[in-house]
């Protein structure tokens, strides 16, 4: 059984790592956390030129004609570098759903400008009343009005809407099991947003739709039949977030092992003590399990295979494994790891945010149990 990356994936991984090591140092990450936009247009354009925006999209739209597993490799490197900005929201939450369920006209209109880096997309799904990811969690209403639909209500934790051009809004269009995805103009003056203060320093927003008109032509997929597409979005986003966290965990392990080799107590490196060795071994075990389960799910998603259980296993494991790795890293680093001057806090804060993103461990344990027939 061959589990190694292909030669093309290795090239992508190495190119991304070298590029991000140069362009996305922690001083830059800190600047972006404190900036209004949260990302750099210059870096965004350089990523476009590398072909990253179109990596997983068909060649006929200007993309790289690769698959989700290839994108997973890139996302891991982005997580390793703590890359700030709307790449995940644009590509994973916005572009790939359009590719999934958009009409031919919608794909031809929106995907080329996404791939060229001209437009930013995001997804408005979660709401202030959280009921996990089922149809009952959607209360924002979209009502018909003279050929259009009018959207009313509040969405919460919407990423990057402050810089987005388009917003995929999941809204209720029928009282019972009627959910539809709308593609709304994020610049509409009837859409109001508030940037929230988050532990990860990313740009999550509360978004209020105040009688926002959306043409019927902007429905993605079928009217009242959007929940199956939403489930696929959530599965793919969960795996994409796992990919970022694998990169996060890998860098934390490397930093910690390097520190254990250099830091001395009692005239010897602390890495020579059995307890530190066991801590590092536990971290390595967690990350290997996380990577294998994540890449299995990513491969199955890329092949279009049913993988609800595999996605749930990956997210349930990594949601808690990342916390264990983070805690052990801080324990080994001691006081220096708790300072703002040290890089460890960038990874710790993102780990905590990712634990809840697109479903926590308990949510996915329930999914695994259901897939087992329980």
Instruction: Dig out the tokens for 164 from the structure.
Output: 């987005």
Question: What global pTM score does this model have?
Answer: 0.94
Residue 1 pLDDT class (50, 70, 90 cuts):
low
Taking residues 160-186, report their average pLDDT: 95
User: Which of 49-53, 147-151, 174-178 has the highest average model confidence (pLDDT)?
Assistant: 49-53
122-225 topology per CATH: Butyryl-CoA Dehydrogenase, subunit A; domain 2 (2.40.110)
| Rounded to 5°, angle at Cα 102 from 96 and 107 | 80
Instruction: Dig out the tokens for 162 from the structure.
Output: 């402050």
pLDDT at residue 318, as a whole number: 96
By percentage, how much of the chain surpasses pLDDT 70?
99
pLDDT at residue 135, as a whole number: 84
Taking residues 67-87, report their average pLDDT: 97
pLDDT tens-place string over residues 127-140: 987 666 788 889 99
Listed in order, the ranges of the chain carrying CATH 2.40.110.10 are: 122-225
Gap between the Cα atoms of 91 and 111, Å rounded: 10
pLDDT tens-place string over residues 308-367: 999 999 999 999 999 999 999 999 999 998 888 899 999 999 999 999 999 999 999 999
pLDDT tens-place string over residues 12-48: 999 999 999 999 999 999 999 999 999 999 999 999 9
pLDDT at residue 130, as a whole number: 66
Listed in order, the ranges of the chain carrying CATH 1.20.140.10 are: 228-371
Mean pLDDT for the chain overall: 95
pLDDT tens-place string over residues 249-280: 999 999 999 999 999 999 999 999 999 999 99
Gap between the Cα atoms of 49 and 117, Å rounded: 9
The burial class, CB within 10 Å (0-12 / 13-18 / 19+), for 130 is exposed
Q: Would you state the CATH architecture of domain 228-371?
A: Up-down Bundle (1.20)
7-119 topology per CATH: Butyryl-Coa Dehydrogenase, subunit A; domain 1 (1.10.540)
- Which alpha helices (DSSP H) does the chain contain, by range? 7-23, 26-34, 41-49, 68-81, 87, 96-101, 104-115, 227-262, 274-303, 308-333, 344-356, 361-371
Residue 176 pLDDT class (50, 70, 90 cuts):
confident
Listed in order, the ranges of the chain carrying CATH 1.10.540.10 are: 7-119
Gap between the Cα atoms of 80 and 107, Å rounded: 31
């Amino acid at each position: 059984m061959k589990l190694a990356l292909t030669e093309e994936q290795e090239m992508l991984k190495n190119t991304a790592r070298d590029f991000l090591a140069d362009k996305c140092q922690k001083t830059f990450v800190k600047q972006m956390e404190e900036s209004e936009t949260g990302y750099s247009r210059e870096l965004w354009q350089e990523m476009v030129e590398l072909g990253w925006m179109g990596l997983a999209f068909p060649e006929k739209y200007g993309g790289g004609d690769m698959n989700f597993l290839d994108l997973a490799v890139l996302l891991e490197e982005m997580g390793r570098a703590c890359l700030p900005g709307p790449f995940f929201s644009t590509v994973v939450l916005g572009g790939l759903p359009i590719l999934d369920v958009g009409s031919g006209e919608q794909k031809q209109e929106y995907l080329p400008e996404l791939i060229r880096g001209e437009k930013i997309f995001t997804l408005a799904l979660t709401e202030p009343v959280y009921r996990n990811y089922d149809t009952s969690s959607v209360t924002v209403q979209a009502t018909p009005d003279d050929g259009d639909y009018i959207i009313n209500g509040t969405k919460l934790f919407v990423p990057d809407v402050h810089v987005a051009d388009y917003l995929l809004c999941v809204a209720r269009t029928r009282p019972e099991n009627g959910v539809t995805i709308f593609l709304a103009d994020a610049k509409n003056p009837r859409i109001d947003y508030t940037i929230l203060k988050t532990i990860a320093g990313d740009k999550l927003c509360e978004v209020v739709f105040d009688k926002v008109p959306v043409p019927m032509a902007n429905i993605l997929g079928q009217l009242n039949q959007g929940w199956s597409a939403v489930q696929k979005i959530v599965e793919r986003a969960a795996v994409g977030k796992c990919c970022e966290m694998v990169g996060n965990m890998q860098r934390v392990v490397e930093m910690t092992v390097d520190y254990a080799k250099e830091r001395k107590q009692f005239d010897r490196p602390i890495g020579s003590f059995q307890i530190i060795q066991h801590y590092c071994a536990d971290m390595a075990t967690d990350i290997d399990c996380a990577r294998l389960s994540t890449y299995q799910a990513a491969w199955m998603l890329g092949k279009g295979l049913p993988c609800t259980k595999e996605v749930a296993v990956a997210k349930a494991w990594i949601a808690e494994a990342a916390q264990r790795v983070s805690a052990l890293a801080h324990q080994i680093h001691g006081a220096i790891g708790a300072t703002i001057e040290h890089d460890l806090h960038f990874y710790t804060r993102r780990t905590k945010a990712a634990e809840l993103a697109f479903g926590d461990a308990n949510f996915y344990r329930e999914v695994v149990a259901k897939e087992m027939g329980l």
